[in-house]
A and B are shown apart, each in its own frame.
Chain A
Amino acid sequence: MRIVLAEDSALLREGLKMVLTHLGHEVVAWSEDAPGLLDACQRLGRANIDIVLTDVRMPPTNTSDGLQAALQLREAYADLPILVLSQYIASAYARELFATSATGLGYLLKDRVGNIEEFARALTTVAAGGTVIDPDVISHLMNAPQETNKLAALTSREREILALMAQGKSNADIEEELFVSSATVAKHIGNVFDKLGLPPDAGNRRVRPVLTFLEAS
């Protein structure tokens, strides 16, 4: 895949380049701040980028510039896959990122990139138009106080499956991870949709429940 990388820490940028190259991807452009990222994407054009990988906190303001740049990129290229790397679990960032759409978007904690396989899968999922939300963010959403938590109606098994779905895992992955049959997984997923009042044919259905919660909270 052709990747545009934005990360202000030179050390981590080189580390990421190394891993991405190792995984067989090509870093076609990199930047150390948000404007640089926007420039690079504009210069290359949508057709030459498979996925954008960006840090949240970057210059110039050192706040959530990377996230803002990602949102701007999505405005310009609605289907440009973007995986956001963050130092924070903050669901507020995830909520902002997924506010308008979720296809081809991911929010991953930086800790996660150490798990190369997971990181690689997240990249592939997002590049293919899927959605990935970091498991820690999911579990924090799940831990919200019962009264305000829409997910409270779910059984623990259903929550577990929802969390795995949100991480971009396929039914097969889930079957393997939980040692259950595909019929059981399908049944649980159906229950999740029912309990959250989502039509089964809603677009982007795999992360729809989590997004619903993100939007509501």
Chain B
Amino acid sequence: MTSHNTFDNEPTVPLVVARGEDVFSPVPQQPEDLPAEYETPNRPKSLWRRMMSPLYAVGVGPWIALFSLIVLGVMSYTFLLPALPLAAAGAIFGSSGALLLVPVVMLLGFLTLPLLGLWFGYFERWRIELAGHGKIASGHVPVPLHNFGEWLKVRYTEAATWREVASLVFGAFMASIAGLIVLLETIILMIAGVVWYYLAINRDPLNIWYDPSSFGLNTMFQSQVELYRHSDPLMFSNLNLDHPNWVITPDMWWLAPLSIFIVLFFFAYINGLLAATSTTLSKLILSPRPEEYERKVAKLTASRTTIVDSFESERRRIERNLHDGVQQELVNINLRLGLAEMEAKNLVAQGLPVESIQQQLTQSKTELTHALQTLRNTVRGIYPAVLEDHGLYAALEELARHSVIPTKLNFQLRERPRREVERVAYYTVNEAITNTLKHTAATRITVNVWDSLTHLMVEVIDNGGGGADPSAGTGLAGLRERAEALGGNVQVTSVPGESSTIALSVPLHG
């Protein structure tokens, strides 16, 4: 059968991965690691890539780096600081002899860290994305905050939280280094600015001496030399004040802005390196591990299965209530009406004028029978008892026979699948037949059920002229949900002017 080929080409294995991506978007991508051919023009450039560009220093890159460092510094210290008073208190208690309190205070500090880390992680991920190093999934399991106890429990035991704590400590460390370096850079720039001012505005020459006692060089403006010469002549007795080794005259003021440009160029790279290193390492610390993803996928699949299962038991309950309640009552009324009808018939036979009563009773009974049939069809749609008792084939056979459109069933299974799989297969066929009836002018439906080595395959093909909309219908969405909870999928394809196909593929073994 040609239609089966549609399935053979389907990638069935990567389904879990695909679902994982859907669920956990934003997907953690590692743009730096991707080969060049995968790059898209829209993708933000990482700081590493920016620094490779020859135009890095004149672009926006250095400013991003600087901003990133400032943000890191502000954030890490803001979030680490609340823990410091506790540490300080610990030290005070320790030194004042209240040794018993030390572990208590340390514990308190330790316990606040995850909460601070949580917040820090939030900003840190933002910073990493800002620096163009890609998005990172938080790795946190969603827990509603109003269930605070549960939230705390989950957060304190999550790997993601402790990764964030690690990143906070690392961030504070990096920020300390970066802070010192940026401070140094600022001082250098300020000195250059002052020199520029003295040379260009004050026309004050800068004298430079070779001076082993003071870092090798000593510098003084001419005005300073004059000042010291009068106020404190002995202070620079080791220098020949009138004969400096080098003199930068006011005419050479351009040396100051030039040196500013040169140091700025280097600072751009130094800051870039600092920011890129902190971001990359922070990302390494913060990124959820693959095992965590797998665990989460497994957990989520399980919870979806639970939801589907609870729907299932709810349907079963409704069916049971209908069956045990209203169906039996209607049957009983039918019974009584039957008796009354029979008695009326006897009375008519005896010549009594009760024909109209007999007619009314017969009419009521006909209507009641119709009500019972309708109810039976509804109940079958809610929860097919035949499916539970006799399996998929029997249930689909019923479905095919009840279908208004002639339906052909090709059924080839080596063994009875597990119940969940049977159910999703049954509901798929049910939904497909209902949809075909509702939305198309099909005159024929073919249902194919077979098993590949790993999957149960179901195909419902109609000749209704195609045009099936894969996104339409809540029924279909529900089916998809069910199928995906079992690790399968539902696909709707249509050949315009010819046919529509709803195809289901579910793993046979959970």
Contacts and interface: CB of A to CB of B under 8 A. Distances in A.
Given A93-B390, A111-B331, A88 B385 contact: yes
A91 interface: yes
Contacts of B336: 15
Nearest to A136: B373
Q: Give me the 7 closest cross-chain CB pairs, A-B, nearest first.
A: A114-B334, A92-B394, A9-B328, A92-B390, A114-B338, A15-B332, A116-B338
Interface residues on B, range: 35 or more
Residue among A87, A113, A140 with max Cβ neighbours from chain B (10 Å): A87
B386 A92 contact: yes
B386 A90 contact: yes
**A interface, by DSSP: helix, strand, loop or mixed?**
helix
Interface of B: 320, 323-324, 327-329, 331-332, 334-339, 341-342, 365, 368-369, 372-373, 376, 379-380, 385-386, 388-390, 394-395, 397-398, 400-402, 406-409
A49 to B, nearest CB: 22
B268 to A, nearest CB: 77
B394 A9 contact: no
Contacts of A12: 328, 331-332, 335
A117 B335 contact: no
Contacts of A145: 400, 406-409
Given A15-B335, A57-B385, A116 B341 contact: yes
Given A114-B337, A145-B409, A11 B386 contact: no
A141 B340 CA distance: 32
Contact of B390 (A8, A87, A90, A144): A90
Contacts of B398: 89-92, 140
Interface string A103-117: 000000011011111
Nearest to B320: A62
Interface in A190-217: 217
Interface string A84-105: 0001111111001000000000
B334 A113 contact: yes
Residue among B335, B372, B388 with max Cβ neighbours from chain A (10 Å): B335
A89 B328 contact: no
A132 B395 CA distance: 23
Contacts of B394: 90-92
B510 to A, nearest CB: 23
Nearest to B406: A145
A29 to B, nearest CB: 20
Contacts of A114: 331, 334-335, 337-338, 365, 368-369
Contact of B386 (A16, A93, A113, A141): A93
6 contacts: A16-B335, A18-B339, A111-B372, A113-B338, A114-B368, A144-B401
A115 B372 CA distance: 14
A148 B410 CA distance: 10
A63 B389 contact: yes
Interface string A13-54: 001101100100000000000000000000000000000000
A116 B346 CA distance: 13
A14 B331 CA distance: 12
Contact of B323 (A87, A89, A116, A143): A87
B384 to A, nearest CB: 9
A100 B376 CA distance: 28
A96 B368 CA distance: 29
A144 B397 CA distance: 9
